[in-house]
């Protein structure tokens, strides 16, 4: 297998982007990534685009071809473009496909992008519910806030997590988001703000939930051997892992453990040949505050039932033992679902290049991502190292 590196990354500002269409967002992120990688469209062999539900959100299918066309890869260049869908893990899976294309030797230089335009539809909750088991969950009235509330209730009953500890996840991620100029929310919040916000699905309140966002992100990958031709700061992909689980939450033996995260994490660490102590920071899928706590436990960074205390003690904030979601996570940076997995890679690139500004993790050399589809039916995880 060919070793793979990220050589360029670009991202739009996340938020309610009434000023931009899906094609505008993709063009902005894609052109930015190409310029950052110092490559031209003629050098691109393939494009993979993560998009969960453009057909429902804006009535647009055939998203791969649309994006290729508007970033200048269609027409005379005839670059093959493929849309990738795995619910909220669409972006992470698009990146995995790009890595696989280069690692296999089938392609030399590939773009992985992710995009979603969510604010143009009236009922985003119903669109997102399609990532659950429509017949056995959504048709019965279960929404994702409701499903993750079940996870939170199960976790609290088992491990004694307090409402105050759970709120600290949101407080910390808004602290990080306030230092990210691309974030949907760039304001710090207090614990009382979280705990006094509107109840959505007990025990989850409004500030426990990620927002509906528009946005796009893109990265360029090639072989590590060729990477130095384009950049002085290539980021090596040490591992790319994917795992699956039942699509319905009620079919799992343990609501508060995502088996797919456990499996993908184990695969990733085995591929990378590193230990947990070697990871300097991690971007995880905090669609709801409880999801972040489960993620860092299921990936093996802290024992089960201890993530709440670990977070409340400040260990997941920049400067702590394990900075988590330095971008602001889905909670503060935003969650345009198809773009999230690529945004996570973008953040890793910024950190490992030492270009993250006020949210920089000192001496960062190894970073990890975890991108989740649904309540954990699909999980994609990657590990990266700053190339020597």
* Residue 59 backbone zone (phi > 0: left; psi -120 to 50: alpha; other: beta): left
| Number of Cβ atoms within 10 Å of the Cβ of 73 | 23
Same domain, 105 and 242: no
Structure tokens at 167: 């709120």
Same domain, 156 and 245: yes
CA–CA gap between residue 341 and residue 347 (Å, rounded): 10
Residue 73 lies in a domain: yes
| Confidence at residue 121, expressed as pLDDT on a 0 to 100 scale | 79
Domain-terminating residue out of 171, 197, 227: 227
Same domain, 149 and 202: yes
Catalytic residue among 26, 88, 287, 294: 88
| Confidence at residue 54, expressed as pLDDT on a 0 to 100 scale | 95
Q: What is the extent of the structural domain holding 41?
A: 4-123+213-227
Domain-terminating residue out of 199, 227, 255: 227
- What is residue 208's three-state secondary structure? helix
Continuous segment of H or E residues that includes residue 96 = helix 90-103
| Confidence at residue 1, expressed as pLDDT on a 0 to 100 scale | 87
Same domain, 153 and 278: yes
Catalytic residue among 174, 176, 184, 335: 335
CA of residue 102 relative to chain centroid, distance? 21
Same domain, 112 and 165: no
340-353 vs 90-103: helix axis angle to the nearest 10?
Answer: 60
Structure tokens at 139: 């048709």
Same domain, 175 and 269: yes
| Confidence at residue 156, expressed as pLDDT on a 0 to 100 scale | 98
| Confidence at residue 147, expressed as pLDDT on a 0 to 100 scale | 98
| CB 370, CB 93: distance < 8 Å | no
Same domain, 34 and 104: yes
Residue 233 lies in a domain: no
Domain-terminating residue out of 175, 194, 227: 227
Residue 232 lies in a domain: no
Single pTM value for the model: 0.98
CA–CA gap between residue 190 and residue 178 (Å, rounded): 13
Same domain, 41 and 158: no
User: Known catalytic residue: 335?
Assistant: yes
- What is residue 317's three-state secondary structure? coil
Read off the CATH number of the domain in which 206 is found: 3.40.47.10
Residue 269 lies in a domain: yes
Residue 246 lies in a domain: yes
Structure tokens at 30: 């894609």
Same domain, 143 and 278: yes
Radius of gyration of the chain (CA): 19
Same domain, 218 and 251: no
- Give the chain's domain count: 2
CA–CA gap between residue 265 and residue 245 (Å, rounded): 14
| CB 352, CB 67: distance < 8 Å | no
Residue 198 lies in a domain: yes
Please report, in angstroms and rounded to a whole number, the separation of the first and last CA atoms in the chain.
20
The stretches of 104-196 forming alpha helices (DSSP H) are 124-128, 144-159, 163-177, 191-195
Residue 268 lies in a domain: yes
Same domain, 185 and 203: yes
Q: Which residues of 347-384 are buried (b: 16+ CB within 10 A; e: fewer)?
A: bbbbbbbeebeebbbeebebbbbbbbbbbbbbbbbbbb
Q: Which residues of the chain have pLDDT under 50?
A: none
pLDDT in tens, 297-352: 999 999 999 999 999 999 999 999 999 999 999 999 999 999 999 999 999 999 99
Same domain, 202 and 108: no
Residue 60 lies in a domain: yes
């Amino acid at each position: 297998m060919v070793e793979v590196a990220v050589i360029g990354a670009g991202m739009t500002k996340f938020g309610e982007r009434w000023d931009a269409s899906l094609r505008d967002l993709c063009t902005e992120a894609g052109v930015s990534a190409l310029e950052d990688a110092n490559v031209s469209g003629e050098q691109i062999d393939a494009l993979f685009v993560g998009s969960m539900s453009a057909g429902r959100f804006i009535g647009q299918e055939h998203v791969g071809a649309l994006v290729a066309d508007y970033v200048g890869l269609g027409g005379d260049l005839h670059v093959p473009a493929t849309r990738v869908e795995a619910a909220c893990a669409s972006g992470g899976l698009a990146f995995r496909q790009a890595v696989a294309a280069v690692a296999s030797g089938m392609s030399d230089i590939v773009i992985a992008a992710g995009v979603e335009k969510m604010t143009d539809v009236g009922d985003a909750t119903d669109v997102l519910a399609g990532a659950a088991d429509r017949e056995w969950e959504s048709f019965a009235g279960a929404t994702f806030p409701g499903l993750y509330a079940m996870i939170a209730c199960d976790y609290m009953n088992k491990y004694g997590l307090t409402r105050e500890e759970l709120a600290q996840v949101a407080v910390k991620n808004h602290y990080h988001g306030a230092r990210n100029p691309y974030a949907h929310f760039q304001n710090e919040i207090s614990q009382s703000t979280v705990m006094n916000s509107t109840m959505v699905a007990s025990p989850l309140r409004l500030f426990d939930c990620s927002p509906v966002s528009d946005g796009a992100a893109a990265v360029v990958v090639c072989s590590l051997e060729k990477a130095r031709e384009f950049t002085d700061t290539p980021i090596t992909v040490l591992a790319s892992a994917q795992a699956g689980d039942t699509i319905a939450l009620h079919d799992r033996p343990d609501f508060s453990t995502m088996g797919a995260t456990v499996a993908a994490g184990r695969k990733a660490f085995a591929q990378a040949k590193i230990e947990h102590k070697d990871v300097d920071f991690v971007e995880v899928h905090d669609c709801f505050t409880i999801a972040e706590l489960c993620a860092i436990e299921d990936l093996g960074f802290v024992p089960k039932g201890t993530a709440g205390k670990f977070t409340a003690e400040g260990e997941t904030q920049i400067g702590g033992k394990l900075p988590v979601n330095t971008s602001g996570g889905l909670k503060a940076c935003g969650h345009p679902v198809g773009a999230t997995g690529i945004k996570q890679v973008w953040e890793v690139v910024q950190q490992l290049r030492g270009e993250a500004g006020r949210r920089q993790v000192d001496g960062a050399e190894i970073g990890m991502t975890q991108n989740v589809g649904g309540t954990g039916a699909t999980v994609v995880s990657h590990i990266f190292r700053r190339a020597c």
